[in-house]
Structure 1
Amino acid sequence: MNSLTDEVYDLRGLKCPLPVLKTEKRLRGLPSGAILTVETSDPLAIIDIPHFCSENGHILVASEKTETGHRFVMRKG
Structure 2
Amino acid sequence: MSNPDFDLDLDVRGLNCPLPILKAKKALAELSSGQVLCIHATDPGSTRDFQAFARQTGHELLAQRQESGEFTHWLRKK
TM-score by length of 1: 0.88
Amino acid at match of 2:71: H
Q: 2: distance between equivalents of 1:9 and 1:67?
A: 18
Q: 2: distance between equivalents of 1:47 and 1:61?
A: 14
Aligned position for 2:27: 26
| Structure 2 residues not aligned, in runs of 5+ | 1-5
Task: Give a deviation string over 1:20-66, Cα, whole Å, max 9, x none.
Answer: 01001110111011111000001110111111011101000010102
Give the fraction of aligned pairs with identical amino acids, expressed as a percent. Answer: 37
TM-score by length of 2: 0.87
Question: Which 4+ stretches in 1 moved above 2 angstroms?
Answer: none
| Structure 1 residues not aligned, in runs of 5+ | none
RMSD of aligned C-alpha atoms? 1.1
Q: 2: distance between equivalents of 1:66 and 1:6?
A: 22
